[in-house]
C-alpha cells in the first residue's frame, strides 16, 4: 500500500479521518456472542474460572457496544443525517 496522498474521492483526511464505528460495533457484538457461548460451554465442562473470565470479556464487549452506539448517535446528530457505510 503506497504511502502518500489519499486517493481521490475519499472523504477522510489526515487531519480528520473517518471512524469505523459500524465495523467496531459488529466486532464487539461478535466478541460478545463468542464469549458468552464459550463461557456456557466452559461452565458445563466444570471449568468455572475460565468461564468467569470469558463472562468478564463479554461485559467489556457490552460496554464497548454502548460507547460505540452513543458515538454513532452523536455523529448522526452532528452530521448531515446521511447514512454511513460499514467503514465510516
According to the 3-state scheme, what is the secondary structure of the chain?
Answer: CCCCCCCCCCCCCCCCCCCCHHHHHHHHHHHHHHHHHHHHHHHHHCCHHHHHHHHHHHHHHHHHHHHHHHHHHHHHHHCCCCCCCCCC
- pLDDT values of the chain reduced to their tens digit, one per residue, 88 residues: 455 555 566 666 666 666 688 889 999 999 999 999 999 999 999 999 999 999 999 999 999 999 998 988 887 787 665 666 555 5
Task: Round to whole Å and give the CA distance between 53 and 47.
Answer: 11
pTM, 2 dp: 0.73
Q: Where are the domains of the chain?
A: 21-75
Amino acid at each position: 500500500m503506497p504511502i502518500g496522498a489519499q486517493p481521490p474521492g475519499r472523504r477522510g483526511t489526515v487531519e480528520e479521518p473517518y471512524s469505523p464505528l459500524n465495523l467496531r460495533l459488529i466486532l464487539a457484538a461478535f466478541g460478545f456472542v463468542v464469549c458468552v457461548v464459550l463461557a456456557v460451554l466452559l461452565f458445563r465442562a466444570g471449568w468455572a474460572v475460565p468461564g468467569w473470565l470469558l463472562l468478564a470479556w463479554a461485559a467489556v464487549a457490552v460496554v464497548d457496544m454502548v460507547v460505540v452506539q452513543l458515538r454513532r448517535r452523536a455523529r448522526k446528530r452532528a452530521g448531515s443525517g446521511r447514512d454511513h457505510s460499514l467503514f465510516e
